[in-house]
Amino acid sequence: MVVVSTTPTRPDLTTALHDFVTAIARDGGPLPSETSLVARFGASRPAVREALARLEERGLIHRSQGASTAINPSLSRLKARLDEEVDKSEIISALGLASTLHVHRKEIVEVTDAEAEQFGLRAGCRALRTTKVWSADGVPCTMAVDSIPLEVDPALAAAEIDATPPVWHLAEAINGVHAAWETVWLTADKLDEIEAWLLQRTAGEAVLRLTLHGLDPHGRTAYWADEIQTRDPIDYSLVRNIRRVRPTD
């Protein structure tokens, strides 16, 4: 059986700073100086600057030359971000709700011509496909149909795979492919009959549909997925930086 390791790893500097900045935003305090951050995290100044640059790209902070670094005051209200991929169980638990995951189906399928063209795969190759539903306090709220191409072992059987970990962990366990990016296409949609049955809701209910494409650093497909988010209980948000273009004469 393919089993994904769940051994926790030491968070990197960007993750540690992310958590630190979020805590400060919640308490309403200022961000310490760069020198203080270097001492606090035991990191070099260039490493701290790089981590801060990444946080600025994510919309957590704003830096201006000659001024103190500002923290986005809305951070304390952001429970789940569409621009950050996090295990759904963690999001639900962070909301103070009991999270459960049910794998309704896992099977080995043949990739269609349309999928092969969209995700840069060889037509006719095999893929693991799973259908998962997450519930919050017993109420289904999110579902995903995940697909992972079987590149290393095309003969792998679905019964050999523990499908409960997040799709990016499964892709790494099955193919050794580390997903570096995830491209997301958003669509306002309605539940069909099967989706409504799985989510215990009414067919035709409005939902947010996400088409996900996970890529490794070399541009190879790690996975793709069709994900559905209902209106509650997860209140998703986005943070976008404003890019100002100076007018030209």
pLDDT in tens, 158-179: 888 899 999 999 999 998 888 9
Indicate the pLDDT class of residue 4, thresholds 50, 70 and 90.
Answer: very low
Contact in structure between 246 and 90 (CB atoms under 8 Å): no
Percent of the chain past pLDDT 90, that is, above it, reads 47
Q: Distances from the Cα of 197 to the Cαs of 98, 120, 131, 132, 200, in angstroms?
A: 21, 32, 13, 13, 5
Domain with CATH 3.40.1410.10 in the chain: 80-237
Q: Distances from the Cα of 117 to the Cαs of 24, 138, 155, 216, in angstroms?
A: 46, 38, 23, 18
Q: CA-based Rg of the chain, rounded to a whole angstrom?
A: 21
Q: Which residues pair with 225 in a beta bridge?
A: 146, 212
Give every CB contact of residue 49 below 8 A, 6+ residues apart in sequence.
34
The per-residue pLDDT of the chain, averaged, comes to 86
The fold for domain 80-237 equals: Chorismate lyase (3.40.1410)
Domain with CATH 1.10.10.10 in the chain: 13-77
Structure tokens, 230 = 């209902």
pLDDT score for 186: 93
Which helix (H) or strand (E) covers residue 195, if one does?
Answer: helix 193-199
- What amino acid is encoded at 64 in this protein? S
- Which of 231, 225, 227 shows the shortest CA–CA distance to 202? 231
pLDDT score for 2: 41
Average of pLDDT values for 131-156? 92
pTM for this model (two decimals): 0.78
The fold for domain 13-77 equals: Arc Repressor Mutant, subunit A (1.10.10)
Q: Where do the DSSP E strands lie in the chain?
A: 61-62, 70-71, 80-81, 99-110, 126-136, 139-149, 181-190, 206-215, 221-229, 236-237
**What stretches of 58-138 show up as alpha helix (H) in DSSP?**
88-94, 113-119
d(CA 116, CA 81) in angstroms, rounded, equals: 29
**Range with lowest mean pLDDT among 42-51, 115-124, 191-200, 235-244:** 235-244
pLDDT per residue as tens digits for the range 80-111: 777 777 889 988 988 889 999 999 999 999 99
pLDDT score for 80: 78
pLDDT score for 107: 94
Percent of the chain past pLDDT 70, that is, above it, reads 93
Give percent helix, percent strand, percent coil of the chain, each to the nearest 5: 30, 30, 40
Indicate the pLDDT class of residue 249, thresholds 50, 70 and 90.
Answer: low
